[in-house]
Amino acid sequence: MRVKVCGNTAIETAMAAVEAGADMVGFIMAPGTPRTVTVEQAREIVRRLPATVDTVGVFVDRPVAEVAQVAAEAGFTVVQLHGRETWAEFAELPYPTIKALRLEDASTAASIDWPPMGLVLADTHAAGMLGGTGQTFPWQWVADLAMRHRLVVSGGLSSENVGAAVVAIQPWGVDASSRLESSPGVKDADLVRAFVAAARRAEEEVMAVA
């Protein structure tokens, strides 16, 4: 299972995530959030991380060419899309691509236009927000989605509830951001470490009964 810590703005907490056992660290490249970083800021952090860790650039409704250029300049290895992007537009993007789905109800999960076994991130819908809501959704909404796609569960996850999500859904990955902060945009290293550790404990529990 992949463990992702998103919304990184500092090398210290990005490294805390990696040292705790996270596989993926994310960077918000969309304007207007306290977690937004520039290409230069992202590149400076990425270049200091181990090559074994995936670095994820998060974009909202940007042209394919721009996404590819920014990803190359920053050194990202994965791209995440949080807007109205379609597979037809991004199928040729030369990066593994995660499509975010903002869930309003159980039926939303059935509406995604992404190929079978593609990378999908399920997040909670909140009016006026494209992510980082700090709110969970009923995990049974994505049980079927987890069987059809490589599902990353997000939305209000922390060390307190990630274990229950892992056991309930057995997802391809889990992702957290706002619940790991001491203030908006500022990750707390202790919260980051606790989240990764809780996710790994749950993964071991699932594997033990498989």
pLDDT tens track for 41-96 = 999 999 999 999 999 999 999 999 999 999 999 999 999 999 999 999 999 999 99
Pairwise CA distance, residues 37 & 43, whole Å? 10
- The whole-number pLDDT of residue 133 equals 65
- The whole-number pLDDT of residue 44 equals 98
pLDDT for 107 beyond 90? no
Of 96-100, 102-106, 151-155, the poorest mean pLDDT is in 102-106
Q: Which two tokens stand for residue 129?
A: 């927000």
- The whole-number pLDDT of residue 97 equals 98
Average pLDDT over residues 196-208: 96
Find the catalytic residue in 23, 113, 123, 175. Answer: 123
- The whole-number pLDDT of residue 81 equals 97
| 61 is known as an active-site residue | no
| 188 is known as an active-site residue | no
- The whole-number pLDDT of residue 131 equals 58
Pairwise CA distance, residues 73 & 79, whole Å? 13
Range list of H helices, 25-142: 39-46, 64-74, 87-90
Across the chain, mean pLDDT equals 93
Closest to 168 in 3D by CA, of 194, 145, 149, 191: 145
Residue range 108-129, pLDDT digits in tens? 887 788 999 999 999 986 655 5
Rounded percentage of the chain residues whose pLDDT exceeds 70: 95
